[in-house]
Amino acid sequence: MHGILVIDKPQGITSHTVVQRVRHACKVKRVGHAGTLDPLATGLLIIGIGKCTRLIEYLVSSEKSYRATFVLGKVTDSQDITGEVVGEGCAAHITADMIHQTCAAFVGDIEQVPPMFSALKQNGVPLYRLARKGVEVERQKRQINISRLAVEHIEDDQVTIRVDCSKGTYIRTLCHDIGQQLGCGACMTSLRRIRSGCFDESMAISMDALADGDFQLLSATAALQTMVNLKVTANGRDRLLHGIPPLVGDIADESSLEDAEQAAFYFEDKLLAIASYDPEHKFDERGDFKLVKVFPEGI
């Protein structure tokens, strides 16, 4: 069994738990997810099953969208409501205009320090394990991109935002940093992933539907919608079966090559390979492409 599942993760369980339940429902050991959601968070969790686990890196790299709510005047060690309160500030003077202006300043390429309560590793040890022991280590700033940050609702000290961002963005850290910029502090109280690349929440199935077997796997094509698709001839298929890059003449529509910095190769709707165009044979003199991934039997 090979394919993609879009799960609507409920609050209170880990992403690993979702993976375990997918393994049980699909009776497949090889299962992975594209982008961890903390137990507090809900929403889209993209699951790769079987050979489609090899496509997860393309799913992880896509832009994601979130809806988050944070409370002003409270700072926690985990930067969300599940953590221990380590600071409080007065938010009575914070106006809607101040919130809108501050949020607008976070749009674009910005630097973010990953939180201690994260799965990032320091000398092989996840940071969250160190954080639970009260140990804090220096973390390197990471550049991320916020393409959109819209304030959707403000009620008393609660602010709800919609965020479109690059991979590697920590939304609870964003909420924390907004609070720091406002001068009163803030921590995230809820988070929902509403989009991941070409997938949105309307495509997601519930955990109940998964348990009942009420679902259909999406094909590998669904994971590669943003990639140029090239159909190969029978000769191209035979070359790929032996791990040999195809020739330009093995591509059914050569006009698509100019857009194919990296492309997915298909034969009769089955994905056979992912490769980059290399007409000058810089990497492999046997063909006109550099193979990145090969699926000889197709998926």
The yes-or-no verdict on residue 121 having pLDDT over 90 is no
Q: At 24, give phi and psi (nearest 5°).
A: -65, -45
Nearest to 33 by CA among 60, 65, 12: 60
Active site residue 157: no
Beta bridge partner(s), residue 193: 43, 66
By CB atoms closer than 10 A (0-12, 13-18, 19+), residue 227 is middle
> Looking at 74-83, 117-126, 220-229, which range is the least confident one?
117-126
The stretch 121-129 carries a mean pLDDT of 72
Helix, strand, coil percentages in the chain from 3-state DSSP, rounded to 5:
25, 35, 35
Q: In the structure, what pLDDT confidence band is assigned to residue 97 with cuts at 50, 70 and 90? A: very high
User: Dihedral sign, CA of 33, 38, 41, 42?
Assistant: positive
Which pLDDT score is estimated for 280? 66
pTM for this prediction: 0.89
Edge-to-edge strand order for the sheet containing 270-277?
A: 228-231, 263-267, 270-277, 289-294
pLDDT in tens, 240-270: 988 888 888 888 876 566 655 788 999 988 9
Assess contact for 179 and 68: CB atoms under 8 A.
no
Q: What is the DSSP letter of 219?
A: P
CA–CA distances in Å: residue 295 to residues 65, 89, 291: 31, 56, 11
For residues 68-93, give the mean pLDDT: 96
B/e letters for 107-146, b = 16+ CB within 10 Å, e = fewer, are beebebebbbbbebeeeeeebbebbeeeeeeeeeeeebeb
- Determine the pLDDT at residue 258: 60
What pLDDT score does 283 carry? 54
Q: What are the tokens at 270?
A: 């089955």
Looking at per-residue confidence, does 207 or 245 come out higher?
207
Q: Exactly one of 38, 77, 164, 250 is catalytic; name it.
A: 38
Distances in whole angstroms, Cα of residue 226 to Cα of each of 221, 235, 260: 10, 26, 11
Other Cβ atoms less than 10 A from the Cβ of 278: the count is 15
Report d(CA 79, CA 293) in Å as an integer.
Answer: 39
